[in-house]
Amino acid sequence: MTSELPLGREVAYPRSYDPSLLFPIARDQGRAALGIASGALPFAGHDRWHAYELSWLGPRGKPDTATATFLVPADSPRLVESKSLKLYLNSLNSTRFTGRDEVRARIAADLSAAAGAAVTVGFGLPPLDMGTGLEGDGDGARAAATLPGTDPAPVSIDGIAVDCDEYDAPNPALLAADPGDLVHEVLHSALLKSNCPVTGQPDWASLRVAYRGPRIDRAGLLRYLVSFREHAGFHEQCVEQVFVDVSAHCRPTELSVEARYTRRGGLDINPWRATPGLSPPPAGRDPRQ
């Protein structure tokens, strides 16, 4: 019988609007382990969420649908756990609203209350960034076009021939840089994987490291990213760990780290952390998203 199979078990979803479903988590919990003191962040940034499954009822009971983008500032005291965000959004499915503006305002108010800072909500998604498809498979594989702004074209490090044997926890000792060779470059990898600390499910992401300073050893960076493979950490915390570890071991004068995680439960998240004062990268979505 299907009721006896683990995949056949019913999952209860809310039938009415319920903002209490949002589960906030204090960012200080993860940052303390990285040596980041509360109120003294070494980075600026945001968490950009993409919602693909958003629906509600109009005033006459007719369903409406949309996609949406949520922008949570990195200096908010709390992050919102992703499964709870999915459940919260599903609580809108059978709830009547006067129109799209009311829906947007309600979501913005509820997410802001959960995060402890103003969260921006807008309908629609950023464009699919086909320029993230990197050509070639070697150390110098490059994107077909340069990124908007001043950054050079990203270079994939995934084709580097390197032995990997560390998977259980991020190992910053694998990182190194040449202080005698100063560069400005963008390195890209699609091999970042970690595990959700709540569900144990795998989280997959592409990572971009844009920096100025001593040339980062690409093989070491690749091995470092692979060492996250069985690590249990929230998306936001993993990106912050990369920023802190690269800053400490490679000493860039400017650093920008963005991860684009693949979709789960109708949501994907794109944390970005950077040296204060740097502009955010152009909003976009990877083909895997």
Task: Write out the two tokens for 227.
Answer: 């060492």
Three-state secondary-structure class, residue 111: helix
**Angstrom distance (rounded) from CA 217 to CA 250:** 9
Three-state DSSP class for 185? strand
Gap between the Cα atoms of 98 and 102, Å rounded: 6
Active site residues: 196, 203
Q: How far apart (Å, rounded) are the C-alpha atoms in residues 106 and 78?
A: 19
Task: Report d(CA 104, CA 90) in Å as an integer.
Answer: 14
Hey, what long-range contacts does 95-104 have (CB within 8 A, 24 or more apart)? 95/16, 95/17, 95/56, 95/57, 96/56, 96/57, 96/58, 96/59, 96/61, 97/56, 97/57, 97/58, 97/59, 98/59, 99/58, 99/59, 100/64, 100/66, 103/56, 103/66, 104/68
* DSSP bridge partners of 128: 285
Residues 6+ apart with CB under 8 A from 57: 63, 64, 93, 94, 95, 96, 97
Distance between terminal CA atoms of the chain? 35
